[in-house]
A and B are shown apart, each in its own frame.
Chain A
Amino acid sequence: MKYLYLLKPFFRVHWPVYAAGVLVLICVDLLYLIIPRLIGKTVDSIIQNAYFMHYLWQMLGVAGLIAVLRYVYRECIMGTTRRLEFYLREKLFLHAQRISLSFFDKQGPGKIMALTTNDITAVRMAVGLGIMLLVDAVIMGAASMVIMVRVISWDLALWAISPLFPTLLIATLMGRLVHDRFRNVQEKFSALTEFVQEAFAGVKVIKGFAAESIWTERFQAISGANVEASLAMARLQAAYIPVTHTLPLFSYAITLFIGGNLIIRGAITVGDFAAFIGYLGLILWPVMGIGYLINTIQRGTASLTRLGDFMSIPIYEDEKAAEQCMLNGYIQISGLTFAYPGSETPSLNGIDLDVPAGVRVGIVGRPGAGKSTLLKLLLRLYDPPAGSIFIDGREIHKISFAALRRSTGYVPQDGMLFSQTIGENIAFDGDYSRDEVIRAAQIAAVNEDIDTKAEGYSRTLNEKGKNLSGGQQQRVAIARAIIKKPSILLLDDVFSALDYRTQSQVLANMNEFLAGRTSIIVSQRIAAVKEADLIIVLDRGRVVERGTHAELVTKRGLYYKLYEQQFADGEA
């Protein structure tokens, strides 16, 4: 198991409790051997008409002690596994947060949800139930083996337990299959989670197109695949029972045959034989448990492998102690060419741009021209090639993520709010005073919209802020970036859902705020960029035009075309 190391740091801390639990469990198993002896003594005493009550009291005493100890080992072992679960969940989440954005672009959160709930549970079962079964099997098995050999004869004992070897062998071999099939089950479960997550996230489209029945059909197919995988697992599991529970019983048949003949030949007595049968029972029971044990362990390792595979995805934002200083916001881009991972065609091609601190840049261009990509690279949400972006004269990879992103205010295209209060959404990345929150909302021209509602800033939003209008979402997202007082502000097409009046109000409010800050404004609206110190027009990843509004209009290029379009319609 190459991924066992994932559990190591946890057990380095928690092993004493866990080990104590195992010790107590061993004690319970040993104490358990006393009870049959006490019963035997009681029966003997009854027959001899001797006083036997003290044996009964002892029995009750031992049983009481066992009950208490049973609780103790469950608390120790199972408690530890619950903590392990907590530990793994946290570790998984911390990792998920910091892996590359490209993972989520392809996968979405469904897989991580399945890993967190389903797979971690399987690991917990293996570590908890698994160890209990193992200890039971080893202790009980060994103890009765010792007694059997000592009391009767070792060759009969050896013959008697001979079916146990094929049992263990077959169970172990089948273990591999369990591993693979269970892994398949978990993967199908994950696929189901991913599908359902996406369906509910996109329910507006599904409903709007009355496509519920198509989605139900698709769901049935995936759910059916899940059943298929589970039944393959079930067939295996069903085969386990005969191997682990019935095959060992051949011990009795063998004992009966050999032992019976020994008696017939007069080698042993019937009493010896009866006792032997009794002890055989003690050794068989734990062996049956071993089958279940292997099953549980294999499930655990299958899930651990899935977890491990995920944890092996390299962390992108790999940074511990980071510098906290604010940048000034002098952006230089030279020869920036960038293609998304897995894509052959570059999204940006040989971009050169020099943005002194405090300058306002507007970017326009057709869909897919690379406008958003450029902003995301400035944030290092994706990794630009070395030596292509410099901020304050420092190569971007030399700047800590924390400093870069704390210095930058970013408003993404789709507002992407969270199910917190509006106030918390604005004060997203830190602790801000109420005044600061209101001030930011004022600049973003959303203050009035918030105040007119009864709960104001304490109003809790739905997921993604869906209970706000599109324009309100965008402005809350703007406020969220403004409150940081960043030295660089990146606005990615953030006025698309705003009417022009509100847009010009936001722009007017921001004018003062933007003074001294570097800003890059991507927009489809000439009105939003025409005041910029520099406007660049992107097309297919290249800068095709650059200049001020006046310069570009006289150039009569793509910019002019857009301008004319909007001007002719009276927009600009």
Chain B
Amino acid sequence: MAMYYRGREYDSEAMRQMSLDRRLLRVLWAFAEPFRHLLALALVLMLLAAAADLWRPYLMKVAIDDYIAEFNPDGLRRVVYLYAASLVFSAAVSYAETFVLQYIGQQVIYNIRAKVFQKLIYRRFGEMESQPVGRMVTRVTNDTDAVKELYTDVLVAFASDIIILSGIVVVMLSINWRLALVAFTIIPPMFLLTILYQRFAREAYRRVREKTAVINTYLQESLNGIGVIKAFWRFERTAGEYRAINKEYMAAGLREMRTFAIFRPFVDLLHVVATVAVLSYGGWEYAAGALEVGVVVAFLRYVEKFFWPIKDISEKYSLLQSALAAAERIYELIAAGGGGEEDQPPATGHQSFRGHIRFENVWFAYKDEDWVLQDVSFTINAGEFVGIAGPSGSGKTTVISLLLRFYEPQKGAIFLDGQNIQTIPLSVLRHQIGVVFQDVHLFRGTIRDNITLFDQSIPAERIMAAATTANLDAFVRELPQKYETPVGYHGALLSSGQRQLISLARVLAWRSSILILDEATSSIDSATEALIQTALERIAKTRTMLVVAHRLSTIQHADRIIVLSKGRVAEQGTHKELISCQGVYQRLYSSQ
């Protein structure tokens, strides 16, 4: 269980380009845009808090110089009150600021998640089939979570830091431009350091994201198949595989930790270097009589204040890198135009089809020239009951996948009521066709949820009617919770025959004009099946029914049987006709 998700490494050279970052930021900003007023508010609040912080030392100075030195206790009390008031003000402002930022962050993440989920769920089926589930889950959950900090901790804080920083720069320059320039000599190395850090950090964070996906993928798959792992007593091997992945994750994590562990101390070191530079130059100028010592001392405090936003930025720079690494993965998805199924032209009213199906010289391969269907042509009339037979791997299920437009044929075309299905909006097409898939899938929820597929608008009578036709109702009625019985994960609390009956009921409740059963009764005994068969035939009078089955009794009474062999239509006809012609069908039949 450890092969194909290792596939792509996400570190192509193109990814490193700055232009990508700019595009990334543009996309990320687009999500924040609707909240720009709130963001502005947060920025104002942040600056107000900063102003209050700066005001307090001034109050202190006033208290000392104007009142304490003048022995004025009343004045002192007034200043103390002011001081306390400013604290209350700060408290309120910082509460509001934090909450506003968190609020924005959460809303933005909600929107990004919705977008990512939608992008994924509307992806072409073929693309999704080949994607590990765990990787897609990581995109929606962990990756979006990592972007959140961009909005809560980085965006506004950066803006505020830069404003404060430029304010301090101006003040420093105005006090003594020579000393200021000396202090600013650390800016170029700071830049260099940051660029270097970005290089390594992004790569490290990218790896962490990638490995998170790998871990999720492995967990998802192996725990999904835990029954087999247990039955084969394969605990050690599985643990070994997981361990290898876990190690890779740890290596990525250590790498991330190290890039920051090297970068961060340098920032503090530069602070001391700046202090030393100011002291030595200041000391030299003082000795030359060009400067008062008070200016040097004051400058030291400004250097301190100058570094405060710088330290904050560098602290948050790692958050930014982490968020951008995650954003890259989301960006790939969101910005990748086309390919999604939601791009289809919207449904024009509720078209109703009679259910006439025509395959015209259809060629299809999942990969390259590995033809699964070759030049397949057949017609199914509206209201007809048609069986599809053929050896396993002959392309029966593929025919259904093409009809649902899970895949598009490479050559040829498929028509529904004379209309090329490529021109029918997917939601319309798929509403017309109800399928019981060979690999039955139930969702966690109740029996009712699984029949309605969580569509609350389906009335109870329709559910019960469908369940009765599927021969499910009697069984459900015996359950203590009836239709509200939970089915468990993937329907694990039911037997596979019962699961098939539920998926059958699901299709029947769906009321499509075409009914497709792909080995829908394979896990059901033939006596139960016969009951279902009779009920279905009654319904089938009004609908087109396409039934794939190996148990030929299932399709014996079909109006017509299409026999596939090695991806071609080998023969067609009624049961009787086919038996008499000594072909593939006859051989299948006689081997029963």
A residues less than 8 Å from B192 (CB atoms): none
Complex Cα–Cα for A570 and B503 (A): 27
B residues less than 8 Å from A453 (CB atoms): 370
Instruction: Please choose the segment from A11-19, A199-207, A329-337, A510-518 that sits at the chain B interface, where 4 or more of its residues have CB less than 8 A away.
Output: A199-207
Q: Which of A344-374 contact B (CB under 8 A)?
A: 344-345, 364-369, 371-373
Q: Taking CB as reference atom, which chain A residue is nearest B471?
A: A367
Q: Which of A30-65 contact B (CB under 8 A)?
A: 35, 39, 42-43, 45-47, 49, 52-53, 56, 59-60, 62-64
Instruction: Please choose the segment from A111-119, A148-156, A302-310 that sits at the chain B interface, where 4 or more of its residues have CB less than 8 A away.
Output: A111-119
Q: Are B437 and A204 in contact (CB under 8 A)?
A: yes
Q: Which of A73-131 contact B (CB under 8 A)?
A: 74-75, 78-79, 82-83, 85-86, 89-90, 93-94, 96-98, 101, 104-110, 112-114, 116-118
A interface size (C-beta, 8 A): 179
7 smallest beta-carbon distances between A and B, as pairs: A367-B497, A471-B392, A569-B553, A234-B102, A109-B223, A242-B91, A496-B522
A328: interface (CB < 8 Å): no
Complex Cα–Cα for A206 and B228 (A): 26
Shortest distance between the CB of A245 and any CB in chain B (Å): 7
Q: Are B137 and A197 in contact (CB under 8 A)?
A: yes
Complex Cα–Cα for A104 and B103 (A): 35
Complex Cα–Cα for A210 and B505 (A): 17
A499 and B76 contact, Cβ closer than 8 Å, known pairs A212-B121, A367-B523: no
Q: Taking CB as reference atom, which chain B residue is nearest A201?
A: B133
A504: interface (CB < 8 Å): yes
A219 and B114 contact, Cβ closer than 8 Å, known pairs A64-B269, A256-B80: yes
A497 and B68 contact, Cβ closer than 8 Å, known pairs A113-B220, A472-B392: no
Q: Are A98 and B235 in contact (CB under 8 A)?
A: yes
Complex Cα–Cα for A317 and B236 (A): 13
B279: interface (CB < 8 Å): yes
A residues less than 8 Å from B107 (CB atoms): 227
Q: Are B276 and A56 in contact (CB under 8 A)?
A: yes
Q: Are B391 and A462 in contact (CB under 8 A)?
A: no
Instruction: Please choose the segment from A135-143, A174-182, A404-412, A546-554 that sits at the chain B interface, where 4 or more of its residues have CB less than 8 A away.
Output: A404-412
Shortest distance between the CB of A302 and any CB in chain B (Å): 16
7 other contacts beyond A202-B443, A208-B437, A429-B233, with CB at 8 A cut-off? Answer: A63-B273, A67-B266, A207-B125, A212-B122, A215-B454, A219-B114, A405-B231
A379 and B530 contact, Cβ closer than 8 Å, known pairs A52-B279, A469-B392, A571-B592: no
Q: Taking CB as reference atom, which chain B residue is nearest A408?
A: B231
Instruction: Please choose the segment from B26-34, B282-290, B374-382 that sits at the chain A interface, where 4 or more of its residues have CB less than 8 A away.
Output: B282-290
A234 and B592 contact, Cβ closer than 8 Å, known pairs A42-B283, A67-B266, A223-B110: no
Q: How many A-B residue pairs have CB under 8 A?
A: 516
Q: Are B489 and A104 in contact (CB under 8 A)?
A: yes
Shortest distance between the CB of A253 and any CB in chain B (Å): 5
B residues less than 8 Å from A464 (CB atoms): 221, 224-225, 439
Shortest distance between the CB of B583 and any CB in chain A (Å): 13
Most buried by B among A35, A46, A71, A215: A46
B14: interface (CB < 8 Å): no
B residues less than 8 Å from A568 (CB atoms): 553
Q: Are B125 and A204 in contact (CB under 8 A)?
A: yes
A residues less than 8 Å from B287 (CB atoms): 46, 49
Q: Which of B508-543 contact A (CB under 8 A)?
A: 510, 519, 522-530
Q: Are B441 and A493 in contact (CB under 8 A)?
A: no
A420 and B128 contact, Cβ closer than 8 Å, known pairs A75-B261, A230-B106, A247-B91: no
B2: interface (CB < 8 Å): yes
A210 and B426 contact, Cβ closer than 8 Å, known pairs A94-B239, A249-B87: yes
